[in-house]
Structure 1
Amino acid sequence: MTHPLPFRRLILSLGLCLWAGTSSFAAAPPADPARAQLAAGKSRFDKLCVSCHGANGAGQDTYGPPLQNRPELSPALIRERIVKGKHGDHAMPPWGTVLDRPAIDALVAYVEVLRQPAATQTAAPLSPFDLADPARIEKGRKRFAKTCAGYCHGHEGVSGRAPDFKGRTDLGPQQTFDTIYHGRTGADVMPPWGAAFSEESIWELVAYLQFLGRQSAD
């Protein structure tokens, strides 16, 4: 069955409109695999290992030994400890029966960073992508406008109930991520968003707030 010419033109026009509409919502570039793995490893470490090894593996007054600045810990030994655990003094559970291979690989990658001498470690945040990526900043801006601007932080992070974000250089990326993820109590109470947003989405919010911090406060 053949369609009249005007009808075929209508179908073609609709198809072009749909194509144009979907192309305008292009996704942000994928996360860098190595950075994403380190970010996942840190997240897993913060949930499972901090109680024994301390924040960032510092190991101060903790049950487990420190992991920072331990170049003698080989990647093979790190993996073995995570998979098989340890008996005796300062016993450690075997995580190989709980975690899958990608999760273990991520933990190994993160501990490998911790065990390096402090002088060789980079100060870059363990985010799954470049926080200066314009596409990620834009996604963070849209999420901020929908979730954060109206009640507490104001349009573009200015003139809200909370302190302005523009021109602020005192908010480090990891500190910002942790505050969004865990929330805050006290005078400046803030709900935790870790259960509502994926970690990648929270890092996009961080990217936007870091962008605001680079703008003039005027």
Structure 2
Amino acid sequence: MSRVEKSIPQRIQHVLLAFAGIALSASAFAVAPPAKDKTADTTAGQHRFEKLCVTCHGPSGDGAPGRAPKLQGRTDLTKAAIHDRIVTGKHGEHPMPPWGTVLDEKAIGELVAYVSWLGTQQGKVEHAGLAPFDLKDPERIEAGHKRFNKTCAGYCHGYEGVGGRAPDFKGRDDLTAEDMYQTIYHGREGADVMPPWGGALSDEIIWELVAYLQYLGTQPAE
């Protein structure tokens, strides 16, 4: 056997090892977890909290006597403790169902993020801080403008937020972003009835509508 023939297996081995190293590097890169959007988790947790938890804990996490303790200002609650309580529930005084058999880990993590955020709050909770983007972003305002004209203007609110069957929006500095979001999401009953859009519009679209309505509030009333 010639020297060249003897060197072929060794060369193949070197090539295979090189490819193996590249494959391992690529694999390690592929499974690296992406940066997590904490604001998105907290916002998603807010919506889940509003569906599952407000009956006992209240819409602002301020609790209810005889039913559930308050969650606001609870700096004593660690994320691990919140996670454990959501998963396992609680017996005895202030009982709570175990959600670990109903919710997956992603949903539980979102609730943990929101309850942890509630623990830093005091008084009325303003969820405007949970908006997934800057409400003064011109592109978001324009997107909300287009959605408003398509969905809200024709029958009730009028184009540019004036002249419809519902109250005007221009010059309205009494409406907070939280008020707007909650009204769009849950709707309203009474004299100025409004359907709930939370099941039809995505969270992002609702916040774009809020951005546009806030912009209208800065414009002179007509």
Interval of TM-score (by shorter of Structure 1 and Structure 2): 0.7 to 0.9
Residue type of the partner of 2:183?
T
Query: Over alpha carbons, which structure has the higher Rg?
Result: 2
CA RMSD of aligned residues (A): 2.0
Give 5+ residue unaligned stretches, structure 2. Answer: 1-35
Q: Which residue of the other structure, out of 191, 195, 198, is the alignment partner of 1:194?
A: 198
Task: Tell me the SS of whatever aligns to 2:130.
Answer: coil
- The Cα offsets for residues 52-98 of structure 1, whole Å up to 9 and x where unpaired, read as 11111101335111111111111110111011111222221111221
CA displacement at 1:202 relative to structure 2 = 1.2
Matches within 5 A, 1:22-41: 33-41=37-45
- The Cα offsets for residues 141-178 of structure 1, whole Å up to 9 and x where unpaired, read as 11100111111111110111112111111111111111
CA displacement at 1:123 relative to structure 2 = 7.6
> Which residue of the partner structure matches residue 151 of structure 2?
147
Task: Tell me the SS of whatever aligns to 1:156.
Answer: helix
Structure 2-normalised TM-score? Answer: 0.77
> Which residue of the partner structure matches residue 102 of structure 2?
98
Count how many residue pairs are aligned between Structure 1 and Structure 2. Answer: 186
Q: Which residue of the other structure, out of 179, 182, 187, is the alignment partner of 1:178?
A: 182
Distance between the aligned counterparts of 1:84 and 1:135, measured in 2? 44
The answer on whether the counterparts of 1:176 and 1:206 sit within 8 Å (CA) in structure 2 is yes
Identity of aligned residues (%): 62
Q: Which residue of the other structure, out of 134, 139, 142, is the alignment partner of 2:138?
A: 134
> Which residue of the partner structure matches residue 158 of structure 1?
162
- The Cα offsets for residues 9-40 of structure 1, whole Å up to 9 and x where unpaired, read as xxxxxxxxxxxxxxxxxxxxxxx922221111
Structure 1-normalised TM-score? Answer: 0.79
Distance between the aligned counterparts of 2:194 and 2:171, measured in 1? 21
The answer on whether the counterparts of 2:127 and 2:178 sit within 8 Å (CA) in structure 1 is no
Residue type of the partner of 1:139?
A
Task: Tell me the SS of whatever aligns to 1:170.
Answer: coil
